[in-house]
Structure 1
Amino acid sequence: MKKLLIILLTLVFVITGFAQEKVKMKYEDWQKEMASWTAKRDELRAKLDALNNEVNNLKRQLAEKDAQIKQTQDAIYALVGTTPEGVNEYRQKVADFERRLNELSRLSNEQLYERRAEVEKLYNDYQALKSDKRVALSEFYDKVLGFESQVNNLITTVRALVKTKEGQVVLAEALVKETTYTVGTWKKDRDCLWNIAKKPTIYDNPFLWPKIYVANRDKIKDPDLIYPGWVLKIPPKAELTKEEKRAANAYYRKKAEKQQAGGGM
């Protein structure tokens, strides 16, 4: 019994010593792990500090570059006599001009003629844009000068249309406008319907005398009888109308009948 007790006590002491040794080994491992992680933390902190320093340096360099850019920009603006606000204003003018230019460029000739005042204004506005000192800025120079061909095409087209239309109006007015002629004497002016129609300032064609006759039937009862001082209406030059041809034929027929009867003009 005593031997058994001794054996049990011996086992207890052995097991207890083994357990203490195991705990001691785990603590030492933990210390090693802590030391390893602490070293990694310190390494990462050092890298982070280096990166923060690099970022701060880059921010400083960027601020310096921004300051240099602003200084250069202000110097350029001063050369053309403007400010950032002035540049924004000119930028808006260029955008508005481009919109109007593109709109007018899409119109037909008839529509362009109807809006010719807008085209003239566009042309004048372009001259103002081009003569503005701000056009020298690189943002605007190529763009604004690139409008020139399109603007010139528009204004040339419109002015040609205006000239054509004005010519047509003048011609139409000339065709419908009746001029007058005051009859002179036979002795001095040799005026008769034939000779009046022959005048270059009238018809330059004596065979058109029936036009004067028909237009003045309220005065002229006999084509052979016109009197000094009469103011005759002169219709526009044109081919004889049916009515005028009938009047001429009636006159010639009566002349022929008189001649056959032995009369004379």
Structure 2
Amino acid sequence: MNLHKLSVLAVVFGLVLVAGGNLAFSQEEMTEEEAAKKIQDLEARVGDLKRQAQSLDAQLEEKNNMLRTKQQDYETCIDELYALVGATRADVNAYEQRLRRLENKVSDLLRLSPMDLLARKDEVDSAEEEYNEMANNKISLLPAFYDRVQKVGQNIQTLRDNLNKAEKTYTVGTWSRDRDCLWNIAKKPDIYGDAFKWPKIWQKNKDQINDPDIIHPGQVLRIPAPAPLTPDEESAAQRYYRQKREEAAMGGSMENTTADQPVNQ
């Protein structure tokens, strides 16, 4: 029994009690005919209330049926929409959770100062890699995700801009005076303190360093944040060393040249 029926019965019960009380109070003054008429009136009112309750129940059932139909239509539309991007509900739920984690990660990084962000550059790289992967997923085209994914991309670009503000630079000196080459620059305590990280400088400045053996006095090199060599940097270094071994095997020189002397070791 629903709340509506309970309310109707409560009203009816109250009317009966009131009427019964009034009848008992005035029974000495009412004739048998009057009492019978009173009871008939009450029974008629009870009948009307029951009919109203039944009508309301029918209307409520009709509304519930319409709601169930619309809900089923909605669920069907959702399934068809997901099918357009080749996804299931489970795929979409997993994407939502992953996107939320990425949004939180990027939001935390945005709170850092440029210098603090530089120390966590690898996290920016990781976030950007994950963003690219998610943006290339067709699920990102769904209305629920499109704007959010675009916003993450904008925020990652902001992180890149902040990193550029904090990134070190180094102005190349001469070999005769400064002994500057990528190897020696990477070895400097205020750079990496590790000569074997010279490929980081090379790869970061490929727009101005075609040959890592040749750098020129006055060049302003961008210095990436201290970190282990990335797979791309490792690969570039291996290609360089392999080329040098081949040159040596053919009788070539392993020495590198700059504007005035060897630049890399």
TM-score, with structure 2 as normaliser: 0.53
Q: 1:86 to 1:161 in 2, by over 3 A?
A: same
Residue 37 of structure 1 pairs with residue 42 of structure 2: yes
Q: Which runs of 5+ in 2 are unaligned?
A: 1-26, 182-215, 218-265
Distance in 2 between residues matched to 1:37 and 1:28, nearest whole Å: 14
Higher Cα radius of gyration: 1
Residue in 1 that maps onto 2:213: none
The answer to whether residue 95 in structure 2 is matched with residue 90 in structure 1 is: yes
Q: Select which of 110, 118, 130 maps to 1:113.
A: 118
Q: Distance in 1 between matches of 2:67 and 2:119?
A: 56
Q: Does 1:137 align with 2:113?
A: no
Distance 1:25 1:160, change over 3 A: closer
Do the aligned partners of residues 174 and 30 (structure 1) sit closer, same or farther apart at CA in structure 2, a change above 3 Å counting? farther
Residues 160 and 35 of structure 1, relative CA distance in 2, 3 Å threshold: same
| Equivalent residue letter for 1:46 | R
> Contact (CA 8 Å) 1:119, 1:158: kept in 2 or not?
no
Does the 8 Å CA contact 2:173/2:180 hold for their aligned counterparts? Answer: no
Q: Distance in 2 between matches of 1:119 and 1:174?
A: 39
Q: Does 2:167 match 1:146?
A: no
Q: 1:157 to 1:23 in 2, by over 3 A?
A: closer
For structure 1, the residue ranges without an aligned partner over 5 or more in a row are 1-21, 180-200, 203-265
- Within 2, Cα distance between the matches of 1:123 and 1:142? 17
Q: Which moved more, 1:77-86 or 1:42-51?
A: 77-86
1:100 corresponds to: 105
Aligned pair 1:74/2:79, yes or no?
A: yes
SS at match of 2:43: helix
The Cα of 1:178 is off from its aligned counterpart by 8.3
CA change 1:109–1:178 in 2 (3 A) is closer
| Aligned-residue CA RMSD (Å) | 3.0
Return the match for 1:122 from 123, 127, 134: 127
Whether the aligned pair in 1 keeps the contact of 2:174 and 2:180 (CA below 8 Å) is: no
Change (3 A) 1:62 1:109: same
Q: Which has the higher contact order (CA 8 A, sep 6+)?
A: 2
Shift in Å, 1:132: 1.2
Deviations 1:183-203 (A, max 9, x none): xxxxxxxxxxxxxxxxxx99x
- Contact persistence 1:105–1:154 (CA under 8 A): yes
CA distance in 1, matches of 2:174, 2:55: 90
**Matching of residue 63 in structure 1 with residue 83 in structure 2:** no
Amino acid at match of 2:126: K
- In 1, are the aligned partners of 2:106 and 2:127 still within 8 Å (CA)? yes
Figure out how many residues of one structure are paired with residues of the other and give that number: 157
Deviation at 1:172, TM superposition (A): 11
Native 8 Å contact 2:87 2:139 kept in 1: yes
Q: 1:90 and 1:104 mapped to 2: Cα distance?
A: 21
State the 1:67 CA deviation.
0.6
Deviation at 1:29, TM superposition (A): 1.2
Residue identity over aligned pairs, in percent, reads: 24
8 Å contact from structure 1 (residues 123, 155) kept in 2: no
Asked if 2 retains the 8 angstrom alpha-carbon contact of 1:74 and 1:83, the reply is: yes
**Per residue, is there more helix in 1 or in 2?**
1
Residues 77, 83 of structure 1: 8 Å contact kept: yes
Give the SS at the match of 1:147: helix
Q: Which residue identity lines up with residue 59 of structure 1 in the other structure?
A: N
